Amino acid sequence: MTDMKETARIPEPQLQLAGNTHLSRRTFLQMGALMAAGLVLPQSVLAVPRPNEKREGYLKFYNTHTQERLEVCYRRNGRYDRDAVKAVHNILRDHRTNEIHPIDLRLLDLLHAIRIRTGQDCCLHIISGYRSPATNAALRRKNRGVARKSLHMVGHAADIRIPGIHTATVRDIARNLGRGGVGYYAKSDFVHVDIGRVRTW
């Protein structure tokens, strides 16, 4: 797990809005004028993502176990939005125990990179995100293929599928990124991705 760190700094004096979003004083005043005219509301207040901006961190999730959906812009202008990241933690929780655990920001960036490379505004179906040690042990008793020290237990891994895109294609995209482990489970129709050492199976 990593702490949320700023990856870029903006030299102008900053003002902070809800959701840890930063604006320059000039931009803030311009937005205020538009708000007064009823033309716009700040996106941090509305929590409206911007899916067409590839440089931003935009994710869409569907949890296959809880049927929950989430669309969120978790990174703007090189800064991570704390509230948005917490929402991701929630939807990637252990659905068996309902335990929530921080998901490493590098994993979110990896999932975002996979989405971008599909060339579509796709939704990531989550088969497994965080797993508590108890859940991992129970799964391991049923299937020895489950790692005893699974990276799922520290928020460093996710099992995903993308409707409309062949699982083998998702696997190849993840492998080509070279950011960690990639496991291909054709029969179960999902791909495991993690931010551990680079390896494939």
Q: What is the C-alpha separation between 103 and 88, in angstroms, rounded?
A: 8
pLDDT in tens, 167-200: 999 999 999 999 999 999 999 999 999 999 999 9
Residue 181, in any domain of the structure: yes
Confidence of residue 144 (pLDDT cuts 50, 70, 90): confident
Of 149, 118, 117, 123, give the one whose Cα is nearest residue 136.
149
Q: What is the C-alpha separation between 170 and 86, in angstroms, rounded?
A: 26
pLDDT at 17: 34
pLDDT at 119: 86
From residue 120, how far is each of 7, 44, 47, 109, 123 by CA, in Å? 26, 24, 22, 17, 9
Residue 24 has pLDDT above 60, yes or no: no
Confidence of residue 54 (pLDDT cuts 50, 70, 90): low
Residue 163, in any domain of the structure: yes
Residue 85, in any domain of the structure: yes
More confident residue, 151 or 27: 151
Q: Which CATH number covers residue 123?
A: 3.30.1380.10
Highest-scoring range by mean pLDDT, 17-31, 61-75, 142-156: 61-75
Residue 146, in any domain of the structure: yes
Could you tell me if 90 and 100 are in contact, meaning their C-beta atoms sit under 8 angstroms apart? yes
Confidence of residue 120 (pLDDT cuts 50, 70, 90): confident
- Expressed as residue numbers, the domain containing 166 is 48-200
Residue 138 has pLDDT above 50, yes or no: yes
Residue 70 has pLDDT above 60, yes or no: yes
Q: Phi, psi at residue 200, to the nearest 5°?
A: -140, 155
The verdict on pTM exceeding 0.75 is no
| Number of domain units in the chain | 1
Please give the average per-residue pLDDT across 55-77, as a whole number: 95
Classify burial at 171, counting beta carbons within 10 Å of its beta carbon; exposed 0-12, middle 13-18, buried 19 or more: buried
Residue 98, in any domain of the structure: yes
Q: What percent of the chain has pLDDT over 90?
A: 68
Please give the average per-residue pLDDT across 63-68, as a whole number: 98
Highest-scoring range by mean pLDDT, 54-68, 141-155, 161-175: 161-175
From residue 166, how far is each of 14, 126, 161, 170, 194 by CA, in Å? 44, 15, 8, 7, 19
Q: What is the C-alpha separation between 68 and 189, in angstroms, rounded?
A: 20
Residue 130, in any domain of the structure: yes
Mean pLDDT of the chain: 81
Residue 169, in any domain of the structure: yes
Residue 96, in any domain of the structure: yes
